[in-house]
Chain A
Amino acid sequence: MKLLTSFSDIIIPCIIFGVVFYGILKKIKVYECFCKGAREGLGTVVDILPTLIGLMMGVGILRGSGFFDILGMVLEPVTARLHIPTELIPLLGVKMFSSSAATGLVLDIFKTHGPDSYVGMATSLMMSCTETIFYTMSVYFLAAKVTKTRYTLKGALLATLVGTVISIFLAFQMAGL
């Protein structure tokens, strides 16, 4: 367990070392290259900023309005029937837009129900199997200056749906209900 969580801490310095070392070995002007790349990176982030503000403002309004709580309540008869924990609906909604906001909800769920409960398991799996749809889409398509996204959203929703269903199913099995 320790090994796994420290894996991502260790791997990054290793990658940095490897890249710089390999560059020197190949007689690349490493510092000049680095600065050139960094400049491009900065430009990309500046391009993204307006989209990010717009998107996060939208999520902020939607979350602050209590929309996801209402949605959870409205869907409760259906979710209860399918043994889907009510807490998962707001989580699923928020996760499509912002992973940091979703993390807040995940920690709430862990605090109230514990990570080993049925809800906790389903949450852990659900968060592991998909990424933030609208954030990824708007940021990536902005980089390519694309406005017509064709079938991307449908495919992304399909992947999320499949992941969610499997997560809930597996959590249900693991919780031994």
Chain B
Amino acid sequence: MLNYIWAVMILLGIVCSIFTGRLDTLAQAALNSAGDAVSLCITMAGVVSLWMGLMEIAKEAGLIQRMTKGIGPFLDFLFPRIPKGHMAREYIATNLIANILGLGWVCTPAGLKAMEELARLERERGTGTPHIASNEMCTFLILNVSSLQLIPVNMLAYRSQYASTNPTIIIGPAILTTLISTVAAVIYCKLKDRRAVG
């Protein structure tokens, strides 16, 4: 799937630039983006290592387990087929909590670990085929895309930076919007899940 999307992006972009007369600047745009990706990764390397290090401590100390218990009912509802006590549950819990609090930099490391654990779960089950996403993976990703963040802190900062008379006015509607898009995502996943399990 991603193969086609990527190819379409590249091919469409180049064809498009012929019509807009920007073909000559396109090489620079491509190179700059690749450079940006590397700088992003350097920033990410520091942040992800920091949080994965802290997560390891939290895991060893049993802190993550306690958090997982806290949102246990949610996890049971969203991921009923992950056995209790599996590490996947704990990383999913960390990711979801960080997501709600808007700690973007904690979400990604926890999310990556969760995906690795979900892949391991598939291998343990022996029913899953490698390279094919499990239902849990689909649900987890769709939830992440639908964003669970309650207070859009970045947006508030940008709004006040550009002299909004009332930067925080968006909080209420933003929570409502996030809630509705997340509910839509959950309903979709549940329907798909039911059909897939049969």
> Measuring CB to CB, which residues of chain A are less than 8 angstroms from any residue of chain B?
1, 4-5, 7-8, 11-12, 15-16, 19-20, 22-23, 25-26, 28, 30, 33-42, 44-46, 48-49, 52-67, 69-70, 97, 100, 103, 106-107, 110-111, 114-116, 120-121, 124-125, 127-134, 136-141, 143-156, 158-160, 162-163, 166-167, 170-171, 174
Contacts and interface: CB of A to CB of B under 8 A. Distances in A.
Interface residues of B, number: 105
Interface of B: 1-2, 5-6, 9-10, 12-14, 16-17, 19-20, 22, 25-26, 28-30, 32-34, 36-38, 40-41, 44-45, 48-58, 60-63, 101-103, 106, 108-109, 111-113, 115-116, 118-119, 130-133, 137-138, 140-142, 144-147, 149, 151-171, 173-174, 176-178, 180-182, 184-185, 188-189, 192
Contacts of B6: 54-55, 58
A44 B131 CA distance: 18
Contacts, number: 356
Contacts of A58: 6, 9-10, 13
B27 to A, nearest CB: 9
Contact of B52 (A4, A20, A40, A60): A40
A154 B140 CA distance: 14
5 contacts: A64-B13, A131-B147, A141-B115, A153-B1, A163-B177
A91 B131 CA distance: 32
B141 A141 contact: yes
B41 A48 contact: yes
